[in-house]
């Protein structure tokens, strides 16, 4: 019977935050006002770590650059981002963790708050087919499709992850409560709602608050980047 392995991405499979790094990259190559963007990026990142991020305010900020350029230009920049920033952040222990579940025949999926434009190529580099991410809204058809700067559906953040996971599982004709084993690997206290939903929560490279919670609940703690 199917077993499920869910993975957060940033600071879980990656030792960095891909959303934050993408913003820093855009500032570095001059796509956005570097001083303003770097300052706002830092503020939102700190809010996230402190557990007080306004996800809607952040997404208006993060998705705006996507709406200002063509898909072809964005892909060119993302290819450069992958080569210059992300490839060097792939760690063998993280790759091996994913492979262990894949070799066991588990259904593997990355569940991340970071938008799918930024994360899909990263997730593919781990050999993972399935991705549940915050989805940027688009308009147009065919080669004329562009991002609007808005969000499609429910932001994949905190409780939103639960709803989006259940929707995705329903599309696979699966129910979380009926799976014999379900794993979720995450570093962040922001993911406590989804960690509580699975049969095998694993605090992975946990932040201080999640580490304390995991110790209190006797959840396993996994260090991939120590």
122-152 pLDDT per residue, tens: 999 999 999 999 999 999 988 789 999 999 9
Q: What CATH code would you report for 18-88?
A: 1.20.1440.100
User: pTM for the full model?
Assistant: 0.96
d(CA 121, CA 78): 9
Q: Structural domain boundaries of the chain?
A: 4-16+90-222, 18-88
Q: Which residues pair with 202 in a beta bridge?
A: 185
- Read off the pLDDT band of 202 (50, 70, 90): very high
Q: What is the pLDDT of residue 10?
A: 97
Evaluate whether 184 touches 191 at the Cβ level (below 8 Å): yes
pLDDT tens-digit map of 56-77: 999 999 999 999 999 999 999 9
Residues carrying an active site annotation: 8, 10
Give residue 224's pLDDT: 98
Superfamily of domain 4-16+90-222 in the CATH hierarchy: HAD superfamily/HAD-like (3.40.50.1000)
φ, ψ for residue 124, nearest 5 deg: -65, -30
Say how far apart CA 109 and CA 7 lie, in whole Å: 6
Confidence of residue 37 (pLDDT cuts 50, 70, 90): confident
């Amino acid at each position: 019977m199917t077993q499920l392995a869910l993975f957060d991405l940033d600071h879980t499979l990656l030792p960095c935050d891909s959303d934050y790094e993408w913003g820093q990259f855009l500032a570095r190559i001059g796509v956005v006002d570097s001083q303003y963007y770097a300052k706002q990026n830092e503020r939102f990142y700190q809010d996230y770590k402190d557990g007080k991020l306004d996800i809607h305010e952040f997404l208006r900020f993060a998705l705006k650059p996507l709406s200002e350029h063509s898909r072809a230009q964005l892909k060119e920049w993302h290819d450069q981002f992958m080569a210059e920033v992300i490839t060097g952040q792939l760690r063998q222990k993280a790759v091996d963790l994913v492979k262990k579940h894949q070799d066991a025949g588990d259904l593997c999926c990355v569940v991340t708050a970071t938008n799918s434009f930024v994360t899909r190529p990263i997730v593919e580099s781990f050999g993972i087919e399935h991705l549940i991410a915050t989805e940027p809204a688009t308009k147009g058809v065919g080669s004329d499709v562009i991002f609007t700067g808005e969000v499609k559906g429910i932001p994949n953040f905190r409780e939103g992850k639960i709803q989006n996971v259940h929707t995705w599982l329903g599309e696979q004709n699966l129910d979380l409560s009926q799976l014999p084993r379900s794993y979720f690997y995450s570093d962040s206290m922001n993911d406590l709602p989804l960690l509580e939903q699975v049969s095998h929560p694993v605090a992975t490279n946990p932040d201080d608050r999640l580490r304390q919670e995991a110790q209190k609940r006797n959840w396993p703690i996994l260090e991939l980047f120590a």
